[in-house]
Amino acid sequence: MKRWAFLIPVVLLIGCEVTEGPKLPQKSEFIPPKDNRITEEMARSYVNASKYLLEAIVGHEKSIEEFIRRYNLSQDLSEVTDSVYREAHRDVVKAWDELVKGWERSEKDAYKKAAITEEEFNWIGGALTDSINKDIQEEIAKALGGEGS
């Protein structure tokens, strides 16, 4: 678990981006079922996406470790958010931006391979906490190597 601990701030950094203005919301193709039940097909796609995302995370972790070594950065990557450092080390900023773009591509590819949208994946994750989905929650937990509730 300690091995993954340094990824938390990295994932937070990846999620933060400087933009020129607010992004317009994208039209959604996913419409949650009215009964809030997760179907077997949704569960399969969710499990597959979870596995593909985990593979992507493991690969990205290696890329981040190499990035940290190459540019002699701290484990928390605080340099990539420091404005003075960013101004003085534009090559590092460019490499970081490429690393972030690579992660975004990997994430999109994982969803595409699993035939699920990010929105549907997130909805399923939230719907798993609803007692109406207890049976499917246990199936998903088992498929992902957990023991269920």
Q: Write the burial class of residue 106 (CB in 10 Å: 0-12 exposed, 13-18 middle, 19+ buried).
A: middle
Helix then strand count (H, E) for the chain reads 7, 0
The tens digit of pLDDT for each residue in 98-138 reads 999 999 999 999 999 999 999 999 999 999 999 999 999 99
CA–CA distance, 39 with 30 (Å, rounded to integer):
14
pLDDT digits (tens, 9 = 90+) for 13-70: 455 444 455 555 556 689 999 999 999 999 999 999 999 999 999 999 999 999 999 9
Nearest to 76 by CA among 18, 17, 15, 7: 7
- Specify the 3-state DSSP secondary structure of 64: helix
